Amino acid sequence: MYKYLLIITCLGIFACNSQSNTQSFENAWHYSPAHNNLLIDHNCQSLITKYQDILTGLSNKDSLYLNNATKDLIKISDSLLGLNLVKDSLLNHSWSNGLTNLHAELQGILAADNPNELNMAVHMTGVQMLNMLAEIGYKEHVIYIFNVNDNKYEDGLIWFGLFKTARDPFHTDKHNMITASQILQE
């Protein structure tokens, strides 16, 4: 009996002490290439462009630019939500839900009162956009996903872009380029 208790205790200690380099965000979305639709892909371009503008505003600590980019992205997502782009009801449902979730996270950016809240709101906006792009099987451009460690956030902060390297928009004091840790379309 004591042998088994000792083995279980050792396994428990080993499991608690083992370190994993795998980020938990890797399983946060499931890419569905079968759902791809060229018309939706094309309409996503304006969403991605405005999201990049939000990252620029965050990186430059320019609240006016950031708020204007956020409001523009809200307008675009609202306009796209009203369009019935495809006849596939499942794809339309995923598209509508993705835009609705994105809209909610964008409201969080506008409501953020301090830099920590703003970082989390931008992070969650990126996560929601990645979820939506994965569900609709976005293929028009390669989406590079970045993740940086941050002591304030357990899983770090996520953003995405169209290039393999980028500067961290959350930590502007770090000027080195970061290589993407994942590609959405994998």
Domain boundaries, the chain: 30-140
20 pLDDT higher than 50: no
Read off the pLDDT band of 28 (50, 70, 90).
Answer: low
What value does the mean pLDDT take over residues 13-30?
48
**Given pLDDT bands bounded at 50, 70 and 90, which one contains residue 14?**
very low
Average pLDDT estimate for 151-171: 90
- Kindly tell me if the per-residue pLDDT of 61 is higher than 90: yes
**Would the pLDDT of 2 be above 80?**
no
Distance CA 5, CA 8 (A): 5
Quick one: pLDDT at residue 5?
45
Would the pLDDT of 15 be above 50? no
Contact 155, 141 (CB under 8 A): no
User: Which residues are CB-neighbours of 60 under 8 A, at least 6 positions away?
Assistant: 172
* Average pLDDT score over residue span 9-34: 53
| Residue 29 pLDDT greater than 80, yes or no | no
Q: Is 177 helix (H, G, I), strand (E, B) or coil?
A: strand
User: How far apart, in whole angstroms, are the C-alpha atoms of residue 128 and residue 136?
Assistant: 12
The CATH architecture one would assign to domain 30-140 is Up-down Bundle (1.20)
Q: Which two tokens stand for residue 40?
A: 């939706």
Considering only 3-7, 32-36, 41-45, 175-179, which range has the smallest mean pLDDT?
A: 3-7
Residues 110 and 63 sit within 8 Å (Cβ to Cβ): no
**96 contacts 78 by C-beta, under 8 angstroms:** no
Rounded to whole angstroms, the maximal C-alpha distance in the chain is 67
In whole angstroms, give the CA distance from residue 61 to residue 83: 34
